[in-house]
Structure 1
Amino acid sequence: MPATPVTVIRHRKERIAKCSLRHLHERPGFRFLRASCGMRFDASGQILLAVDAPPLSSADRGRALVLLDSTWRHLAELRRCITGEPILRSIPGDVRTVYPRKSRIYDDPEAGLASVEALYVALRILGEDDESLLDGYHWKDQFLASLR
């Protein structure tokens, strides 16, 4: 169980079968919410991961973490569910995904990661290096090797 409380808000159209976080649903310390039309989540004082934000650092320890789980296409819509004053942070720019992206319609951000990759790196930065978070991730070994 992570010491950092984690809330994952999944876009209503995101397919659980393709979700990189599905193996964490029953794990203590994680709360999974499915965003429905009109849903609101007050993230005041919590860290909200965002690609274009200042980098996450160990100075952010002690705050809850909010992760939006969506395709890049639906991310702006999902972001509108967040209310309050979250603390926006990004994963440092030297971390790259190993997930094979295949969108022919939408450009994925260069710094974009699979949700489980972002979660693992965020908790690692916050002092909780738990490789078992990646146990259900097909590209676990490649991702860990890329971080070395």
Structure 2
Amino acid sequence: MPVSPPPPTIFIVHPKEKRSKCSIEPLRGRDEFRFWKFPQRGLESLDNYVRLGIGGPILSEADAGQGLLILDGTWRLAEKMEADYQHLPVRSLAPTWQTAYPRKSKIFEDPSTGLATIEALYAANIHLGRPIEGLLDEYHWGEEFVAMNRTLIAGG
């Protein structure tokens, strides 16, 4: 019996997020992704979705049939969006993933387990056993991210 594809990954993009600097911008238009501009909602139902975040059980292949919702914005902006999606169960990534994205905030400290949105998507797809081909093609730090996380990717 053929396995049906999972629901599309939904990105909730904060309106203050600059599209020119957004790591997931190159994914727009692909069938497996939807982009919602916060606080608006798209047509998709969030039934059978989990939210990628910090503090939940580790995302695993047991979640593979569920949709994935990812908040996209700075850490401070993402925190403000969380309240609208509290009803979704939170799943986390293994804390050993390392970001290649250079962070230079002089005002706020990012979580130590924080990844760029494209890195988080890539890691989530590894955890879920989903395809990763082409995700990092236009990500400036993609090769460095893969090199830093090679053992996690190989163990996927």
Q: Give the match's secondary structure for 2:70.
A: strand
Distance in 1 separating the partners of 2:149 and 2:79? 28
Is 2:58–2:92's contact at 8 Å kept on the other side of the alignment? Answer: yes
Report percent identity of matched pairs.
Answer: 41
Q: After superposition, what is the alpha-carbon deviation per residue over 1:12-32, rounded to whole angstroms, capped at 9, x for unaligned?
A: 111111100010001111100
Q: TM-score, normalised by structure 2?
A: 0.85
Tell me which amino acid in the other structure corresponds to 1:147: N
Equivalent pairs counted in the alignment come to: 143
- Residue 108 of structure 1 aligns with which residue? 110
Q: Give the match's secondary structure for 1:59.
A: helix
Q: After superposition, what is the alpha-carbon deviation per residue over 1:74-111, rounded to whole angstroms, capped at 9, x for unaligned?
A: 1221112226x312101100101110001110110000
Distance in 2 separating the partners of 1:137 and 1:116? 8
Q: Give the match's secondary structure for 2:140.
A: coil
Tell me which amino acid in the other structure corresponds to 1:10: V
Q: Give the match's secondary structure for 2:10.
A: strand
Is 1:43–1:82's contact at 8 Å kept on the other side of the alignment? Answer: no
Q: Give the match's secondary structure for 2:71.
A: strand
Distance in 2 separating the partners of 1:40 and 1:23? 21
Tell me whether 1:71 sits opposite 2:71 in the alignment.
no
Alignment partner for residue 95 of structure 1, among 94, 97, 106?
Answer: 97
Q: After superposition, what is the alpha-carbon deviation per residue over 1:23-56, rounded to whole angstroms, capped at 9, x for unaligned?
A: 00011111001113xx468644311001122211
Structure 2 residue runs without a partner (length 5+): 151-156
- Residue 140 of structure 1 aligns with which residue? 142
Instruction: Tell me which moved more, 74-83 or 10-19.
Output: 74-83
Instruction: Tell me which moved more, 41-50 or 93-102.
Output: 41-50
- Residue 120 of structure 1 aligns with which residue? 122
- State the superposition RMSD in angstroms: 1.6
Instruction: Tell me which moved more, 120-129 or 7-16.
Output: 120-129
Tell me whether 1:11 sits opposite 2:14 in the alignment.
yes
Structure 1 residue runs without a partner (length 5+): none
Is 2:14–2:37's contact at 8 Å kept on the other side of the alignment? Answer: yes
Q: After superposition, what is the alpha-carbon deviation per residue over 1:44-70, rounded to whole angstroms, capped at 9, x for unaligned?
A: 431100112221111111000000001
Alignment partner for residue 59 of structure 2, among 51, 56, 61?
Answer: 56
Q: TM-score, normalised by structure 1?
A: 0.89
Q: After superposition, what is the alpha-carbon deviation per residue over 1:121-146, rounded to whole angstroms, capped at 9, x for unaligned?
A: 10111112423101110001001111
